[in-house]
Structure 1
Amino acid sequence: MESAAKSVSEYADSRAATDALLSVLREGRMSPPALARFMSQAAHRSLRQAADRPRALAELTALHGLLLALAAGRRPGRRWVATSWALAALHLGLLERRERLTTADTLTLIRANLPALPGGASRWSGLLAITLDLADGRLARRHGTASPFGDYADTFADAAYWTWLTLGHEPSRTVRAAAVAAWALPVVTVTAIALRGGAMPERPRPTLLRPAAALQGLVALRHLTRR
């Protein structure tokens, strides 16, 4: 277990590194020492991967600097943008062989920060989020720039924006409960399988994500038509 933990930072492939980290937790039976090794090795790899991609880190920082300026004086504002930057910077290793962000990545990160931006709670914000979601996916497929970083950022953007909009602006308790359950269930399921098996499972099938997408459309429509 110790030798596996020491070699985590040497993995070039992010999935292999993640599996090695999860094996530390599994073999250590989620004990405090195993959790400490997991956090230490994960942090070391994340910082090293960010340092190895200075251009991507500079682009990420410039984008969030602009978002930070736009978020001034708003709630959740600067804390939201700062959290977005930290999470993205710590996962730059998921870019794999790429050294910079793509247009699709940029659109995804803007979507994730809509709650902090002017108009983030406007009637049209839900439709804007859906439009950005469709646009970044199409761009990534058209230009062949899909990456684990894009997948991670897309999942984060959906969870962050739609949970914020639903819990803060959806009056129906039934819709709130159904939406949060639909968005949380795939994440909880994948996490539980990964921790139990000591390896990352395959991504959920699109059919399993359709309820979440349908609820996004419902919440966006209700938000648009609400006075």
Structure 2
Amino acid sequence: MVIADRAGSRAATDALLAELRDSGWRSAAWGRFVARATRRSIRQAAPRPRAVAEVTLLHAAFLLLARGRGAGWTTVSWLLCLTHLGMLEERSSIGPANALTLLRAHLPHLGAGGRWLGLVAIATDLLDGRLARARGETTAFGDYADSFADAAFWIWFAVRHEPNPRVRAAALAAWAAPVAVVTAAAFARGKMVDRPWPALLRPAAVFQAVLAFRAGTHRDVPA
């Protein structure tokens, strides 16, 4: 659904969303939307064989290290990466910063549910940003991957480790609500909507520290 430059990517995505909205979201329009987005993603992945190989090998390693845990989670992550390689823009490799970001998204299965896993996630979050800036590798791919990795990990972490239902609900809202609102608005308006980040997600950064600390002082929530 993306191409090498952000402006062109946005225009193409807006056209797909507008057609879907104008059709009244009928099933046939959804089929065309998915088919066209898929073809576009394939065209963007084709010139980036190195990135395709990196993403595939990285996710295979996650599956191996997790000993089969989270196979569905890993498969979805792999497909999302492959279909958004156009967001790498002029780059042919995902780079170490994005690899570290993807690692964070898979900590729930690699870390065996440890209560201090939140501290590891925070460390990777700080490090991947510094790596990307230091290497001049900041891209739309990394921006979105970072946001979704945070949402995936911390929603899981809150459900798994936070015993207070109010704190858990607030934490879930901090990550899930912005994604849901932006997605719904994009389909309703028939065009992409700028994400309310980083301003709206600053409370989520605070929740990371709160959840990590509380998890270290409480027993795990029963599965």
**Fold-level match, TM-score > 0.5?**
yes
The answer for the alignment partner of 2:81 in structure 1 is: 88
> Separation in 2 of the partners of 1:20 and 1:11?
17
**Percent same amino acid among aligned pairs?**
54
Contact 1:26 1:196 in 2 (8 A): yes
- Give ranges in structure 1 of 5+ residues lacking alignment: 1-7
> Separation in 2 of the partners of 1:66 and 1:164?
21
The answer for the alignment partner of 1:36 in structure 2 is: 31
Q: Which one of the candidate residues 195, 202, 210 is aligned to 1:203?
A: 195
Contact 1:24 1:37 in 2 (8 A): no
> Separation in 2 of the partners of 1:134 and 1:120?
22
| 1:20 to 2:12 alignment | no
Deviation, 1:179, is 0.8
| 1:98 to 2:73 alignment | no
> Separation in 2 of the partners of 1:221 and 1:11?
41
> Separation in 2 of the partners of 1:11 and 1:17?
11
| 1:164 to 2:159 alignment | no
Matched residues, number:
217
Between stretches 165-174 and 9-18, larger displacement belongs to: 9-18
The answer for the alignment partner of 1:112 in structure 2 is: 105
Contact 1:9 1:44 in 2 (8 A): no
- Give ranges in structure 2 of 5+ residues lacking alignment: none
> Separation in 2 of the partners of 1:65 and 1:190?
31
Deviation, 1:60, is 1.0
Contact 2:101 2:125 in 1 (8 A): yes
Contact 2:18 2:190 in 1 (8 A): yes
The answer for the alignment partner of 1:149 in structure 2 is: 141
> Separation in 2 of the partners of 1:9 and 1:211?
30
> Separation in 2 of the partners of 1:98 and 1:16?
21
Contact 1:50 1:93 in 2 (8 A): yes
RMSD after superposition: 1.9
Deviation, 1:152, is 1.8
Between stretches 165-174 and 136-145, larger displacement belongs to: 136-145
Against the structure 1 CA distance between its residues 10 and 171, is the aligned structure 2 distance closer, same or farther, given a 3 Å change threshold? Answer: closer
Secondary structure of 2:196's counterpart equals coil
| 1:136 to 2:161 alignment | no
User: Deviations along 1:73-123, whole A, 9 cap, x unmatched?
Assistant: 5x43x3322222122112112112211111110100000111111x24212
> Separation in 2 of the partners of 1:224 and 1:16?
46
Against the structure 1 CA distance between its residues 79 and 31, is the aligned structure 2 distance closer, same or farther, given a 3 Å change threshold? Answer: closer
One-letter amino acid matched to 1:218: V
> Separation in 1 of the partners of 2:210 and 2:200?
17
Deviation, 1:143, is 2.3
> Separation in 2 of the partners of 1:149 and 1:39?
20
The answer for the alignment partner of 1:225 in structure 2 is: 217
> Separation in 2 of the partners of 1:192 and 1:68?
32
Contact 1:11 1:17 in 2 (8 A): no
Runs of 4+ in 1 over 6 A off after TM superposition: 8-11
Give the structure-1-normalised TM-score. Answer: 0.88
> Separation in 2 of the partners of 1:224 and 1:59?
34
| 1:123 to 2:118 alignment | no
One-letter amino acid matched to 2:94: L
